[in-house]
Structure 1
Amino acid sequence: MLPKFKTLLIVFAIVFILLLIPLLAMQFTDEVHWTVFDFIVAGVLLFTTGLVIQFVLKKAKNTKHRILICVIILILLFLLWAELAVGIFGSAVAGN
């Protein structure tokens, strides 16, 4: 396994690259409207997800369990992201 600092650096780099996508899209189209708060929330969500997945990969010994838990984590991330973006469930999280 990688040392903790390298792991954090890799997760941070991946999150940074993913956040560059909407930042670049905002330069070329008016369809993407992200505020600083949107970037902060997305960064926290992605960084936390990356750390949790790293933790699961380190602690889970069985490959099937690793895959299943990581898929569940990613599904939860996408559901929360969709709820924050458009409020698909109409919960208080989305501001409804």
Structure 2
Amino acid sequence: MILDKEKTAIIFAIPALLIITAFFGNLFLEGWNWSPFDFLIAGILLFVTTFFINLVIRSQKALRSKFMICFVILLVLAMVWIELAV
């Protein structure tokens, strides 16, 4: 069985892996031109989203409510990310 600390570590490892992947993509791919500021903004967005999803997962709400709230959080992340990409 996975402990709460392990769940939290796994949840927060996902955005860290995404940032690391973006870093290596920036190094090795020709069309990928992120500045350090882009990495900072992406990291903030991903870790804040992860923090809120972790709060929802730890709450005492029903599973369906948790799923819907997490979906809304991810939808807001996608909308902000798309807006910043334009």
Provide the C-alpha distance between the structure 2 equivalents of 1:59 and 1:84, rounded to a whole number of angstroms. 30
Match in the other structure for 1:51: 51
Provide the C-alpha distance between the structure 1 equivalents of 2:35 and 2:29, rounded to a whole number of angstroms. 15
- Note if 1:70 corresponds to 2:66: no
**TM-score, length-normalised on structure 1?**
0.77
Say how many residue pairs are matched: 84
By relative contact order (CA 8 Å, sep 6+), the higher-ranking structure is 2
Report runs of 4+ in structure 1 exceeding 3 Å deviation. 9-12
**TM-score, length-normalised on structure 2?**
0.85
TM-superposed CA distance for 1:24, in Å, is 1.4
Q: Percent of aligned positions with the same letter in both sequences?
A: 37
Q: Any gaps of 5 or more consecutive residues in structure 2?
A: none
Q: Any gaps of 5 or more consecutive residues in structure 1?
A: 87-96
Flag the 1:70–1:60 CA change in 2: closer, same or farther, 3 A: farther
Provide the C-alpha distance between the structure 2 equivalents of 1:57 and 1:11, rounded to a whole number of angstroms. 10
Amino acid at match of 2:75: I
TM-superposed CA distance for 1:60, in Å, is 4.1
Match in the other structure for 2:79: 79
Match in the other structure for 1:92: none
